[in-house]
Amino acid sequence: MDSILFQKPAAALLERSRKSGIKIVTAESCTGGMIAAAFTDIAGSSDVFERGFVTYSNEAKAEMLGVESGLIETHGAVSEAVARAMVEGAIANSRANLGIAVTGVAGPGGGTADKPVGLVHLAACLEGQPILHREIRLGDLSRQEIRQETVLVAFNLMNQIFDQADGVLIP
């Protein structure tokens, strides 16, 4: 992992969270904990970063986050529905109030015509607010590039949550 690539955006999010009294939780599949690692690479992050779930298998998504197996069977693990359920489960199973979830196909194998390598679904939510979803299709990048780009998109989505929460957050 290239911690220098993530240091500034992670530090900025930690500071925004700190100022707003927000705790962060992550639920990661294809990134395997890279988002959590980016936050915890920064000294003092423990006052804001509450916990991270690495739910790589479908069973882990169900057991740790409460994602219904029927949802996975119907939509597949790499889907908007599952990303949304993951972020809801992460918040429900933590003491955090801002969550980010990612699920995708990092490759190099595992892709299909409907769900090619580079397809990632992200969902972010501030407790009590609507979930934001983003689908990205990164194409024919390396596994590491897909994972790194996903982390950066996750940070952008979390910033979007903050931007839309003006008036909801107490500065």
pTM of the model: 0.96
In a domain, 167, yes or no: no
Q: Residue 25 is encoded by which pair of tokens? A: 């939780």
Confidence (pLDDT) at 168 = 60
In a domain, 170, yes or no: no
**Where residue 72 sits, what CATH number does that domain have?**
3.90.950.20
Share of the chain above pLDDT 70, in %: 95
Q: Give per-residue pLDDT as tens, 123-132.
A: 999 998 999 9
Is residue 171 situated within a structural domain?
Answer: no
Distances (CA, A) of 157 to 17, 26, 71: 14, 13, 23
Q: What is the pLDDT of residue 117?
A: 97
* 53-70 pLDDT per residue, tens: 999 999 999 999 999 999
Nearest-angstrom CA–CA distance, 124 and 98: 7
Number of domains in the chain: 1
Contact criterion met (CB below 8 Å) for 120 and 45? no
Per-residue confidence at 171, pLDDT binned at 50, 70, 90? very low
Kindly report, residue by residue over 108-121, the tens digit of the pLDDT. Answer: 999 999 999 999 99
Place of tokens 């199973």: 93
pLDDT score recorded for residue 1: 52
Domain contains 38: yes
In a domain, 95, yes or no: yes
To the nearest whole number, what is the mean pLDDT of the chain?
Answer: 95
DSSP symbols for 42-73:
STTGGGTEEEEEE--SHHHHHHHH---HHHHH
pLDDT digit string, tens, across residues 12-62: 999 999 999 999 999 999 999 999 999 999 999 999 999 999 999 999 999
What 3-state DSSP class applies to 28?
A: strand
Residue 169 falls inside a structural domain: no
Domain that holds residue 57: 3-162
